[in-house]
Amino acid sequence: MNAPWLRSGRVIAGAVLLLAVAVCAVAAPALAPHDPGDQDLLNILLPPSWMNGGDPSYPLGTDSLGRCVESRLLFGARTALEVAFFSALGAGLVGTILAHVAGYFGGAVDWVIGRAVDIWMSFPPVVLSLILMVGLGTGTDKVILAIILVDWTRFCRVLRSEVITVTRRDYVSAARLLGYSHWQTVTREILPATRPLLITLVSLEMGIAVVVEAILSFVGLGVGANQPAWGQMIADARQNVATSPLGLVLPMLAIFLCVAGFNLLGDGLRRALDSRQTAVRSA
Amino acid sequence: MSLLRAEGLEVSTTLDGRQARVLRDLTFSLQPGQILGLVGESGAGKSMIGRAIASDLPAGFAVSAGSLRYGHEDLVAMPRARRQGLLGREIAFIPQEPMASLNPVLTVRQQMDEHLRRIGVTDRLARARDLLAQVGLPEPDAVLQRYAHQLSGGMCQRVLIAMAFASDPKLVIADEPTTALDVTIQARVIKLIADLQARSGTGVLFITHDLRLAAQICDDVLVLYAGRPAERGPARALFKAPRHPYTASLHLAAPGMTGPRHVLLALPHQMPGLRQIAGMTGCRFAPRCPVVQADCTVTEPVMAAAGHGTACHHPDLAGQIATPEAAPIQPAAKRAPEVLRTSNLRRVFRSRGFFATSETVAVADADIVVHEGEFVGLVGESGSGKSTVARLVAGLDQPSSGQILLDGQRDMPRALRRRHVQMVFQDPQSALNPRHRVGDIVTQAMRVDGHSQPADRTARAAELLAQVGLSPEIAGRTPSQLSGGQRQRVNIARALCVVPKLLVADEIVSGLDVSVQAQLLDMLLELRERLGFAMLLISHDLAVVRYLCARVVVMHRGAIVEQGDTDAVFTAPQHDYTCTLLEAVPPD
C-alpha cells in the first residue's frame, strides 16, 4: 500500500514518538524496575545511576519520597494516554455531532448551538475545568469528563464553519434531489469532507488533554494521589529543583515529547488526508 | 515602427525533468492604434503572453527563446526598474475578474487616487471624475465613494478600464475582459474599449476565447492552438474564410444566431496537454483535424511570415469543412402532457437587518409551462432570477407564493419528485463531491434505499457513462482527475440515473470551451432522442438556446417579459429588453 500519509515525514515522526510513548505505557509493568508507589525513604532524591551517588537499581534516581522516577514516568504515560484518548474521543464526538447539526440545518438550531458555544467559551478553560474537578472530585474518569465538558466547543466551532462551507456545495443539493435523507446526506456527503479536519482536531486535542491532565494533576485536582501522573511528578519535584533538577525536567520532557507527537501526527494527517491538497500537489 | 513585436517567442517550463514549451514560434506585431486579437481555448497558452509582457510568468516558467519588443526596447531583458516605470503608465492591463481586481477594503476614490498619484496627476479628484464619466458611469461622484462589492461586475470593469486608460497608455493588454460579464454588458464594455482606443490611438492586445467577439472588435487576429499560432490574418478575412482547419472548426462549433441551424462540429478528444505535446510529431492539430492528410503527422507546418498566414500544409482544405443542416427542432406535440406548470410563482428574499427588514423580489409571478419531451430555454442576465426559478422547480427552495405543478400534481411527495425532476448544476467543480469516485457519484440515486447490489451499480454506472460518451474506466476516477467537459458529463449522467421526465439545467455549458460545448450540446440532443426527457435550460447564451430549444422564456429583473417559439422571439422580439439582449450578441 502506498497511502500518501505513509510518506509524510510529519506523520512518521509523530507516529514514532507516540509509538514509543504507547510502548512505555503498555509495557510499564514489565519495564519498570519498581512499583511506582513504593517509597524507599532511605534513598530519597537519588541522582540517576550514572552520576555520583547514584544507585543502579534506580536508573533515573528517586524523588523526595524515595519513589523510582523511571517507574513513575512509565506509569505516568499510561495515565496520559488514557486521558488523551478518551477525552479527545468524547469531546470530538459531542462537538462533531453538534457542529454537523448546527451547520447543516442552520437557522434556529444553529443559533441555539452557536450561543451555547459562545457562553461556554467565555469561561476561561482552565478555571472551568478546575471548578468542574472541585465539583466532581479526583480520578481519571473525572479528568476525562472535565476535559470533554470544556473542550467540545473547540470541535463544534471549528467544524461548524467547515460544515457550512460544504453544505453550500451543489453536490449536497444534488444528493438531496436524488432522495438522500438528511442522515444519508450528512454521513455520505458532508462527513467525508470534514473528516480530515476532525482527525487533525482529535490529534491536537489529545495533545491538549495531556497538558490539561498535567495541569490538573499539578494542582492536585487530577487523577488522584495514588496514581502516578507527570503533572504530579512536576509538582512533587518543585521543592527540590535546586538539588535534583532532573526530577522536574524528565516529566516535562515526557509531556513535551508526547504533545509534540500528537501535534506532528495531526498536522501531517491533515495535509495528507485532504484530497484537495493532495490533488494540487500531484497536478 | 510597431508598438509591440514578438519574434519567435518561446516560453518554457520543466516537466518530468525535461524542457516543455508552453508557447513557441510566436510571431506577431501590433501597430499603434490597432487591436490585435489573440484567440484560443483554455490551455492554448494565450494568457502566458500577457504575463510575459508584465514579466509575471508563473514560477518555473521563463522565456527561453525569441524576442518580445516594446518599441525599441527588449521587454524580456529590460531592467526591473524600467519595466516598473512602463507598467501602469505606458502599458496598462484590463483584468479578467473585475470584482477580484479591485481592493475590497478601499473605496474607488482611494484606489483611483493612488493610481493617479503614481502616474503624476495633480488635480486627482477632478481627473477621476472625468475618467469615470468617460467610461459612461452615471453619477461618478457616487461611484467614487463606493467599495467594489457595492458595484456590479460591469461597473467594476468600467472603473478598471478608466484606470487603465488614465495614463494615456500606448499599449493596453485586455485579458478576457468580458468573460465574467453578462452579454449586454459585454457589448457595452467592448464598445467602450474600442472607443477609447480609437480616441487615443492606443494599441490593444485583446486576449479572448471567443472568435466571434474577436472578429467583431479586432483589426488582426492570431489563433493559438496548443501553444503555437495556427492562423494569423485580418479579422474579417480570417473569420469569413479561415485557412486553418482549427479556425474553421472553432467557427463551426459555435451555434449561430441567424440562418439555418447547422449540426455543430464537435472535434474529437481535447487539446493536447504539455506531456502529450512532447511526444508528438508533425502538426499538433492532426489527431483532431477533420481533413487530416498523410503528411500532416510527418512534418510540422510553418506559418508564412507576412499577410494572412496559416500553419497548415493544406490550407485549401479548411474551406471544405462543413456540417450538414440540423433537423428542425420538433415543437412539443399538441396534446403532450405538461411535466411542469408554474403559476404566479413568486419568491421574495427577506434580509433582516438589526432595525429594518428589506425585501428583494427574485421571481415575480412567473408562469412557465414545459411539455413532455420539450426543451425550453430560460434566458436573462445575472440577477434576473433565472437560477432562483431553477431551484424552485427542482425543489431546493420554497416559493413565497404561487404554485408548481409537476405532472399536474401539487406537492408531489419527495419519493416521486426525485424520479420526476432532476437538476444539473452550473459548476461541475462544486456539483461533484471530490471525495467520491465517478462510478459512485453517477449511481448515487441507487443508494438511497440501500437495496441495490454493488454489481448492479457497477453495471448501471457503465451504462450511464456510455450514454454521456465516457469510457467505463472513468468510473474508478475521482472528479479532480477529469477535464471540465468530462465533469459536466458526469454531472449530467448523475441526473439521468433515475431517468427523470424533466431536467433542470442551470448554465451547464458556460465556462466550457466552444469545442467542448459543441460536444455537450450534441450529446443532449441525442439523449433527448433516446430518453425523451424534457428540459428547462437556463442560459445566458442565446445561441445555445436557439440551438437546443423550441421555446424560450425571457426574464428581466425577476419578471418574465416575453415567451414564445424560439425562432419567433429571436426574429421578431416584442419586448425592448429582448431586443437589447439580441443586439448584444456578437454577429455571426
The pLDDT assigned to A276 comes to 54
Distances (CA, A) of A67 to A44, A54, A64, A229: 7, 14, 7, 13
pLDDT band at B1 (very low <50, low <70, confident <90, very high): confident
Distance CA A157, CA A96 (A): 9
Which of B430, B444, B480 lies nearest to residue A178, judging by beta carbons? Answer: B444
Contact: A173, B432; criterion CB under 8 Å: no
How much is the pTM? 0.82
Closest CA to B559 of B577, B540, B541, B579: B577
Beta-sheet pairing, B171-175 with B91-94: parallel
Residue B371 has pLDDT above 90, yes or no: yes
Mean pLDDT estimate for chain B: 89
**If you measure CA to CA, which chain A residue comes closest to B15?**
A283
What ipTM did this prediction achieve? 0.79
Contact: A174, B494; criterion CB under 8 Å: yes
Which of B395, B435, B480 lies nearest to residue A177, judging by beta carbons? Answer: B395
Burial (CB count within 10 angstroms: exposed 0-12, middle 13-18, buried 19+), residue B287: middle
Report pLDDT digits (tens) over A112-152.
999 999 999 998 888 888 888 888 888 899 999 999 999 99
Contact call for residues A227 and A79 (beta carbons, < 8 A): yes
Which of B414, B445, B480 lies nearest to residue A279, judging by beta carbons? Answer: B480
What percentage of chain A reaches a pLDDT higher than 90? 57
> Which of these ranges, B196-210, B253-267, B347-361, has the smallest mean pLDDT?
B347-361
Contact: A177, B396; criterion CB under 8 Å: yes
Report pLDDT digits (tens) over B153-172.
888 988 999 999 998 899 99
Which of B430, B433, B448 lies nearest to residue A178, judging by beta carbons? Answer: B448
Report pLDDT digits (tens) over A21-63.
999 999 999 988 889 888 888 888 888 888 888 888 888 888 8
Report pLDDT digits (tens) over B52-82.
888 888 888 999 999 999 989 999 888 989 9
Residue B305 has pLDDT above 70, yes or no: no
Chain B residue numbers touching A276 (CB-CB < 8 A) = 434, 480
The 3-state secondary structure of B470-537, one letter per residue: CCHHHHHCCHHHCCHHHHHHHHHHHHHCCCCCEEEEECCCCCCCHHHHHHHHHHHHHHHHHHCCEEEE
Contact: B431, A178; criterion CB under 8 Å: no
Taking phi first (over 0 means left), then psi (-120 to 50 degrees means alpha), and beta for anything else, what does residue B580 get? alpha
The pLDDT assigned to B306 comes to 73
Distance CA A148, CA A92 (A): 8
Chain A residue numbers touching B436 (CB-CB < 8 A) = 192
Q: Is the dihedral of CA A226, A133, A247, A46 positive or negative?
A: negative
Report pLDDT digits (tens) over B436-493.
999 999 999 998 877 889 999 999 999 999 999 888 888 999 998 888 888 999 999 9
Chain A residue numbers touching B394 (CB-CB < 8 A) = 173, 177
Mutate to test the interface with A, among B387, B435, B480, B508 (most CBs of A within 10 A): B435
pLDDT band at B259 (very low <50, low <70, confident <90, very high): confident
Q: In angstroms, what separates the C-alpha of A181 from chain B's closest C-alpha?
A: 8
Q: How big is chain A, counted in residues?
A: 283
Which of A173, A178, A275 lies nearest to residue B418, judging by beta carbons? Answer: A178
The pLDDT assigned to A1 comes to 41
> Which of these ranges, A81-95, B118-132, B310-324, has the smallest mean pLDDT?
B310-324
The pLDDT assigned to A279 comes to 42
Residue B290 has pLDDT above 80, yes or no: yes
Cα end-to-end span (Å), chain A: 21
Q: In A, what residues contact B, Cβ < 8 A?
A: 169-171, 173-181, 184, 188-189, 192-193, 275-276, 279, 283
Contact: B423, A279; criterion CB under 8 Å: no
Report pLDDT digits (tens) over A162-183.
999 999 999 999 999 999 999 9
Which of B414, B431, B432 lies nearest to residue A179, judging by beta carbons? Answer: B414
Question: Which ranges constitute the DSSP H helices of B135-167?
Answer: 140-144, 153-165
Closest CA to A32 of A41, A24, A40: A24
**If you measure CA to CA, which chain B residue comes closest to A273?**
B435
**If you measure CA to CA, which chain B residue comes closest to A182?**
B448
**If you measure CA to CA, which chain A residue comes closest to B480?**
A279
Which of A170, A275, A283 lies nearest to residue B431, judging by beta carbons? Answer: A170
Set of cell numbers at residue B238? 480570417
Distance CA B234, CA B226 (A): 21
Chain B residue numbers touching A180 (CB-CB < 8 A) = 444, 448
Distance CA B311, CA B297 (A): 13
Contact: B445, A179; criterion CB under 8 Å: yes
**If you measure CA to CA, which chain A residue comes closest to B440?**
A188
**If you measure CA to CA, which chain B residue comes closest to A192?**
B435
The pLDDT assigned to A116 comes to 94
Report pLDDT digits (tens) over B393-428.
999 999 999 999 999 888 888 888 999 999 999 888
Listing DSSP states for B521-577 in one string gives: HHHHHHHHHHH--EEEEEES-HHHHHHH-SEEEEEETTEEEEEEEHHHHHHS--SHH
Which of B415, B425, B434 lies nearest to residue A174, judging by beta carbons? Answer: B425
Distance CA B200, CA B267 (A): 41
Across the A:B interface, residue pairs with CB atoms under 8 Å apart total: 66
Set of cell numbers at residue B201? 490611438
Distance CA B417, CA B395 (A): 9
Q: In angstroms, what separates the C-alpha of A283 from chain B's closest C-alpha?
A: 9
Distance CA B431, CA B351 (A): 27
Span B348-366, mean pLDDT? Answer: 83
Chain B residue numbers touching A279 (CB-CB < 8 A) = 434, 478, 480
Contact: A179, B478; criterion CB under 8 Å: no
The pLDDT assigned to B352 comes to 75
Set of cell numbers at residue B433? 463531491
Contact call for residues B581 and B404 (beta carbons, < 8 A): no
